[in-house]
Chain A
C-alpha cells in the first residue's frame, strides 16, 4: 500500500526501534506479511520483523521456508542488505530439525546463485555453505557421492522449481563450488577448495565476513607485502602488442 521508498525506510528501523516498544507487536503481523509478500528487497527487510514475531510472539507462518527459498534470487548477493539477510538466514537454517532435502535445496540454490556473485559475497557464502554442511551431515552427499551415476547429461537440480522438496537437490552435486575453485580471487578459490576435503568439526565464524566490502578486500590485498615480484617474460611490442591480443582486434589507438 505504501510507496517502496517509504516501505524500505519503515522496515529498516522496524525491528529495533518500533517493535520492542509496542504493547501488542502482533498488530504488525498483517503489515509484515504483506510486505514479505511483495518480493525483492522489501521482503528481505520484512524478514527481520517477522523473525521477531515468530521468535517471541508465537507467530505461526505457513510455508515460511518455501517463501524464504523463493526469496533467493541473483540480487541477494548485490543488495545493500546482504549482511542482514544472511545473518537471519543463518539463524533460520541453524535448526538441526530441518529436513535434509530443504537444506540441500538451499545449499544448491545459494551456490547456483553464487555463480554471479562478487568476490566479497563469495567469501561470505562459501563458509556459510560449509556451516550448513556441518550442521546437516545428511547433505554431504552433495559433495561426496562415491557410487553415484557416471556421466549424467543434466544437473538433476531444477532451479525453476519453487517447492524445495521438488527441486531434486539431494540428487545433485555442488559443481558450482567446484567451478568457483577456479575463481580469479585467490581467497575465494582457496575457500572453495575447502569442500574438496572432509570438513573440520568446528563451524566457521561468519559474522566477521557478513559485511565485507569490496574496498576492504582491495585494501587487504594492496597492503600485503610481497617478497619478490614476478615479472612478465613475454616480449611486448607496444600497448596492444601481446600475442593474440584481444584489444588489437577491437580497439584502435586513435
Chain B
C-alpha cells in the first residue's frame, strides 16, 4: 500500500530468533477500520438511543444458516400457501391454483406469447439467435423454444449482443470441447485395457519359451568374474572386526554397583532430612556474574558459605557437621554393603557348587537368587528343576502342563483361578511369565494390565493371610514378584497400597464411632504393613505411602483394646514394624514406648503401681490385667526361647496351659529385646532419660526378675543395661539467630533463557498466576482504550451534529434575513416609485 501510510517501529537491537509482532503498523487503515466498525455499531445505537420501536425481521429463516437456500424457499412457499389457504378460495371459483414457471404465471406467459407472436416484425432476428438461446436454455420443446426465443427477442431488441453473451458463448464452446476430449481419453483407456488383457493371455504362452534362451544369453554375455575382483570385493564386504565394549572385570562391576548404591543411599538421606531438601529446592543457587553458564560445575560445591552465628561470621560450620554425619553413616552403610556383597558372592559360589547335591539348598539357593537379580531367572529355573526332580516326582508330571504364555488376568477371579491349585514354584513361574508376556514395551495396554496385576497379587496375599491356616510361606515367596512389579510401576503400587490402608483406617474409624473402641486388625493388614516397609523407603521425611502407614499404626497402638494374648502379639508385631520403619531415620515414636510399657505392665501381678503411669489403651487398674503373668513354676523352668509363629494371630490354637505360658514368656522376651533396641535407637535424643524413665522404673522396681528363667533374665539384664549405661548430658538450648537480611546487590541476575518471550522463574502454578494477571492487565488496558475511543467518536459525532444544526440555522436565518431584505428593498422601491409618481 501507500508507503506513507506505513509506520515502522524502529528496533533498537536486532535479536536473532526473536519474532516481532508489532514492527510494522498501518495506522490509517486500522483507524478507518475502527471508525467503520463504530459507525456500524455505536453510531446505530447512538441514533436509536431514544427510540423504542424495534424493527423485527420476521422473514422465515432469514438468519438461519442451517437451512439450505432451496429448502428455505420450499418452506417459505409452504408457509405462504398455508397462510393463504382458506382465504382466497372464496373468490377463486374454478381455479384451485395458478401454475407458474420461474415465478411467472403460465397464463400470463401464454398471453405474452400471443402478443409477441402477433407483432412478429422481427422474425429474422428471432431465428438468428436460435442457436444462442439453445445454448442458454439447453433446448427444450418446440413451444418452449419459441417462447424463449421470443423472450430473448425482447432483450435483443434493446441491446444487440452484449459482452456477457459473447463470453457465455465462448464458455459453452470450451465446455463442449472439454467433454469431447474426455470421451476420447476414455476411449483410449478402454482400448489400452483391452490390449493389456489380450497381452496377458498371450504372455503366459510366451513366457515358457523365453527363459532358457534368455539365460543362455546372460551366461554368454557375462564373462567369468576376475579373481582379483572377487578378492577386492570380498575385502570390501568383509565384516570389519569392530571393537566391542570390553568385558568389565568383577572389581569394576562391584565398583559400579557400589557407586549406584551410594548414590541411592545419598538420595535416601536427602529425603530423610526432608527439610533440607525443601530448603535447597527453594534456594536458587547463587551464580556469580563471572559464571560462564557453560554447565561446568565442580564435582562438589566446596565453596565456603558465609553464615552468621552469635553475630560473628561463621564459615563452614554446618557443612562440616553434615559432612561428618554423612561420612559416618555412609561409612557404616558402605561396610554393610560390602559385607553383604561378599556374602552374596560367597553364597552364589556355594549355590553353584551345591545346588545339585545339597537338599537344604532348596530354600537358600532361592534366597540367593533373589539377592542377585541378574542371575535370578536362570538360577531359579535351574534350582527348581534340580530340586523338583528330587523332592516330588508328581510335580514333575505337572510341570510341562504350564503353558508358556499367559494373558494378563482382567479380574481378580481369573487371576485366582490361574494360581489355584498350583505349588509355590509354579505360581512364581506363572507370575513371571505373565510379566514377560505382557511387558509394557510389547504392547500399549500392557502397562495397565500389569498395574492391575499388582493389585490382584496384593489382594491374593491378603486372602492367603486371612485363611484359617495362613499360607505365610507362599506369601514369603510372592513378595518377590510383588517387589518387581512395584519397581516397574511405583505410582500404581503406591496407589493400591494407599487404597488398602485407607480402607483399613476407614473400617477402624467406623468401628470406633459405633462401639467406642476398636480391635486390632487381622493378619492381612499386618502383612500389608510389613510389605509396605519392603517396597518403600521408610526413612523418608515424608512419603506418600509410608507416612499414612505410620499414622495408621499409631492409631492401632493407641486406639485398640488389648484383651487377649493374640492382641498382645499383634501389638508387639506392630511395635516391631515401627522399629523397623524408623531403624534408619531414628525417628521418635512415643506410641512405641507407651505400648511396650503397657505390655510390661500386663506381666506384673496386680498391685499398686508406683513411679510410672500407663496411658490409653492400657490402664493401671481394671480388666485384662495379668495377661502376661506366668505363675507356674514348671512352665517357667521348661521355657525355651522360641520364635512366635504368626499363625497364632489369626486362630487360637487349643493350646495347653504350658504352651500358652511359654508364648507369654516369649512375648516378654520380645518385649525386653524391643526395649533394648529402642534404647539403642533413641540414645541420641536429648530427653532420652525422660522418655525411658517409666520403663526404667518398671524394670528396676516391679519386674519379678528372680522368678524368670535364666534365658529371660539374660534378655532382661541386657535391656536394662542398655537403658542405664547411657550418659546424661544436657546442654541448654540456644535459638538459631535470625540471619540478617543481606543488602541488595547490584550484581546482575543472570538467567538462562530457554525461550524468548516467556518468563522462566517460579513454579508452574506461579507462572500460570502471573500469566493470568498479565492477561487481565492487558485486557483492562485494552478495554479502557476502547472506551476512550468510543467516547471520542461520540463526541466527534455530537460536535458534527451541532455544527450541522448551527449551519442549518445560520442558513435559515440568512435566508430569512435575505427575504426580509428583499421585501424591504421591494417595499422601498415601491415607495420610491410612489414618491416619483
Interface residues of A (CB under 8 A from B): 73-75, 77-79, 112, 115-119, 142-146, 148-155, 159, 173-176, 178-180, 182-186, 189-190, 193, 195-198, 214-215, 217-219, 221-222, 224-226, 228-233, 235-247, 249-254
Contacts and interface: CB of A to CB of B under 8 A. Distances in A.
B445 interface: no
A231 B731 contact: no
B558 A214 contact: yes
A173 B732 contact: yes
Given A115-B690, A118-B558, A246 B588 contact: no
Contacts of A224: 544
A198 B544 contact: no
A133 to B, nearest CB: 11
A252 B732 contact: no
Contacts of B473: 253
Nearest to A236: B534
A32 to B, nearest CB: 26
Interface of B: 261, 264, 267-268, 271, 274-275, 310, 336, 340, 367, 370-371, 373, 472-473, 475-477, 479-480, 483, 486-487, 490-491, 493-494, 498, 501-502, 505, 509, 527, 530-531, 533-538, 540-545, 547-548, 550-552, 554-555, 558-559, 572-573, 576, 579-583, 585-591, 593-594, 613, 615-616, 642-647, 666, 670, 673-674, 677, 685-691, 728-738
B726 to A, nearest CB: 12
Given A112-B690, A231-B487, A252-B646, A214 B733 contact: no
A231 B490 contact: yes
B588 A118 contact: no
A175 B267 contact: no
Contacts of A182: 586-588, 685
Contact residues of B: prevailing secondary structure: helix
Contact of B734 (A73, A145, A154, A232): A145
A238 B731 contact: no
A34 B490 CA distance: 60
A232 B534 contact: yes
Contacts of A151: 729-731
A178 B685 CA distance: 8
Contacts of B275: 190, 193
Given A143-B733, A235-B370, A249 B643 contact: yes
A237 B646 contact: no
B493 A229 contact: yes
A227 to B, nearest CB: 9
Nearest to B495: A229
Contacts of B590: 115-118, 183
Given A230-B267, A238-B477, A146 B734 contact: yes
B501 A222 contact: yes
A156 to B, nearest CB: 9
Contact of A233 (B261, B367, B586): B261
A239 B476 contact: yes
B599 to A, nearest CB: 13
Contact of B677 (A183, A193, A238, A246): A246
Contact residues of A: prevailing secondary structure: loop
Contacts of A252: 642-646
Given A214-B555, A232-B537, A237 B545 contact: no
A192 B580 CA distance: 24
Contacts of A115: 590, 687, 690-691
A218 B736 contact: no
Q: Which of B538, B579, B582, B587 has the most CB of A within 10 A?
A: B587
A99 to B, nearest CB: 21
Given A185-B547, A197-B738, A247-B580, A254 B731 contact: no
28 contacts: A75-B616, A112-B690, A116-B590, A116-B594, A145-B732, A178-B686, A182-B587, A183-B590, A185-B547, A186-B541, A195-B735, A198-B736, A214-B558, A214-B559, A221-B548, A222-B498, A226-B544, A229-B490, A229-B491, A231-B490, A232-B538, A235-B373, A239-B530, A239-B534, A243-B336, A247-B530, A251-B644, A253-B476
Contacts of A145: 732-734
Contact of B730 (A144, A152, A197, A222): A152
B490 A253 contact: no
Nearest to A160: B611
B554 A214 contact: yes
B279 to A, nearest CB: 12
Contacts of B673: 249-250
Nearest to A192: B588
A74 B687 contact: no
B646 A254 contact: yes
B691 A231 contact: no
B587 A183 contact: yes
Contacts of A73: 613
A195 B686 CA distance: 15
B697 to A, nearest CB: 12
B515 to A, nearest CB: 14
Nearest to B532: A232
Contacts of B589: 183-184
